[in-house]
Amino acid sequence: MRIKELTQLSSTPIPKALMAGMAIIMGIFVYGLVLLHQDQEAFLVWIREDGLVEWLTFVELLIMSAFSFLISFTFNRSEPGSAVKRVWLFLGFLFLFGAMEEISWGQRILGIESPEWFLKHNRQGETNIHNLLVYGVNINKLVFGKILAILITIYLLVIPFLYRSNERFKEFINRWRIPIAQNYQIFLSVLVMILVQSHLSIAKKAGELGELCMCFVFLLILLHPYNKEIFPIKWLALRRRESSFGVGKGQES
C-alpha cells in the first residue's frame, strides 16, 4: 500500500460535471443549515414534503437506478453468465425502490388515498414502507436509521481502507465489480454526517438535507469510483473534459 493512495483526494481528476453537481448540492445544503439557524419555521416550510430537497433526492436515486440497470445490461453483454450482472440488477431495483419511497410511490401526486392498513400502521398515513410503525417498532429509525448507518459506515470507511491495504480483499472486490469510494467522497460524507447530527437537536427535518447529500455521494461513487478500470464502460462523456482539482494523475495497479 502506498501512502499516496491514502492522502490524495482522488485517483483520477474529478470531472467538471461532477464538480458542478457538488457545488450545487453543497450550496443547497449550506443554505438549508443557514436558514435553519435564522428562521426555523421558514426552514420547515422550505424542506416540506414534495419540496425541492425531496425531489432532488428522488432524482438522484432515479439516476442511480438507471445507471445500475445500464451497468447490469453492459455486463450481460460483455460477460455472459456472470453473476455480477444480477448484483447490479438488484442495485437498480433497490435504488428505484428508494426513489419511489421518497415520493410515497406517487401517492400525493396522483391524489390516491392510502389503504386502511397503511392508515393504521404508517406514522404519516402514507403508502410507503419507511414510515411504518409495526408492533411498536419504528421501521424508519431501525432499518433506514441504525442498520443503514452501520452499513454505510462500513462501506465508506472500512472497505476503502481494506481495498487499499489488502491485495486479496482488493481482488475479491474487483471480481464482484464493487465500486470503491474516492477520498474526496469519503471526506464529503463524513463532513455532511457530522453537520447533520449537530443540527438534529434543532430540527429533525435536518436529516432530509443529509439524505440529499448522501445520495449524491453515492451517485459520485457510481460515476467516479476509485477502481473505475474494472467497469465495462468508461463514461467518456464525463472524462473528456476533466479538471485537476488537486488530485492524483492516475491510479496505479
Per the DSSP assignment, residues forming a β-bridge with 243 are 14
What is the pLDDT, as a whole number, of residue 242?
43
What is the pLDDT, as a whole number, of residue 241?
42
What is the pLDDT, as a whole number, of residue 131?
84
User: Cell 492522502 identifies what position?
Assistant: 7
What is the pLDDT, as a whole number, of residue 212?
97
Strands (E) across 124-246 are located at 133-134, 137-138, 242-243
What is the pLDDT, as a whole number, of residue 11?
83
* pLDDT tier, 5 (very low <50, low <70, confident <90, very high otherwise): low
Mean pLDDT within 120-137 = 84
What is the pLDDT, as a whole number, of residue 6?
65
- Summary mean pLDDT of the chain: 87
Length of the chain: 253
Q: Are 246 and 9 in contact, with CB atoms under 8 Å apart?
A: yes
What is the pLDDT, as a whole number, of residue 253?
39
Greatest distance between any 2 Cα atoms in the chain: 58
Residue 160: enclosing H or E segment and its boundaries?
helix 159-165
User: Cell 473528456 identifies what position?
Assistant: 240
Mean pLDDT within 217-245 = 70
- Can you list the pairs that 86-89 forms with residues at least 24 positions away whose Cβ atoms lie under 8 Å? 87/176, 87/177, 88/177
Residue 250 has pLDDT above 50, yes or no: no
First to last CA, the chain: 10
Residue 237 has pLDDT above 50, yes or no: no
